[in-house]
Amino acid sequence: MKIYQADAFTDQPFKGNPAAVVIMESPMSDEWMQALAEENNLSETAFLKLTKEGYALRWFTPAAEVKLCGHATLASAHILWENGYVSPDQAIHFETLSGTLITRKSGAWIEMDFPSEAAEVVPAPPLLSEALNTEWVACGKNRMDYLLELPDEASVRSLQPDFRTLKDLGTRGLIVTAKAEGKAYDFVSRYFAPSFGIDEDPVTGSTHCCLSPWWAQKLGKHALTGYQASKRGGTVRTHWKGDRVLLQGQAVTIFEGELR
């Protein structure tokens, strides 16, 4: 059984977000997949199984299965095309817990068609004041995460959350974001998910399904470029199309191996 590791949302090794990609020859139990994800100790391990329609795809953090993951989907598509599992001129259909996700080549970039996960403006839960020593402009929430818009990019970059407190937030995690100060990006963000075993995720594709409609409406344009300002950092292009969001990123293979 082949296993690969790729860095997603970057064109440089050791940047972006690393994901393991496992090509399964036969179905494996949930317990086995969770144990391997814990063994890998990456933010996500993707498990692929060939089907008549494309590939069944599931994502596991070291602590739990998740319903939607962008960077491990990007890494999976990159590995399938680069290693000849799928012809580069063919789209890949992934069957997931969030429905069918379609990926396509777009020059040097990979484009993913994801569901929009727009956030509804809500009052911020009191726990956030305990976990964060910062002010915010607005609070939103979708089916997976809370989103906090902070006053400026510097506030996002300097934030130091109390991860123990954030574990009790009751959602998958917390997105913090602000309008970017320079011209290279439209917005910046960071993402914290300690309840799923990830204090800070390096680059998170699925949060951009929320960030894209949030900033598209605020900035008055649908095509945007976001930068996730983690230590490793990564770039995500987004295009909001109502109930769908197109995400674009790049990926680099780090190694391949064999599970025995």
What does the pLDDT average to over 115-130? 96
Which residue among 25, 31, 39, 44 is the active-site one?
Answer: 44
185-231, pLDDT tens digit by residue? 999 999 999 999 899 999 999 999 999 999 999 999 999 999 999 99
Tell me what pLDDT residue 100 has.
96
Contact, 239 vs 212, CB < 8 A?
yes
Alpha-carbon gap, residue 85 to 77, rounded angstroms? 10
Does residue 44 have an active-site annotation? Answer: yes
| Planar angle of CA 177, 171, 141, nearest 5 degrees | 50
Domain ranges, ordered by start, for the chain = 2-115+247-258, 120-242
Tell me what pLDDT residue 249 has.
98
Share of the chain above pLDDT 70, in %: 100
Could you tell me which residues come within 8 angstroms of residue 240 by beta carbon, excluding any fewer than 6 positions away? Answer: 116, 212, 213, 216, 222, 224
CATH number attached to the domain at 2-115+247-258: 3.10.310.10
For the question of whether the overall pTM of this predicted structure is more than 0.85, the answer is yes
Alpha-carbon gap, residue 9 to 70, rounded angstroms? 9
- The architecture that CATH gives domain 120-242 is Roll (3.10)
Contact, 61 vs 20, CB < 8 A?
no
* Same-fold call for 2-115+247-258 versus 120-242: yes
Q: In the chain, where does DSSP find H-type helix? A: 30-40, 70-82, 126-131, 153-158, 163-166, 208-219
Question: Which band of pLDDT confidence, cut at 50, 70 and 90, is reported for residue 250?
Answer: very high
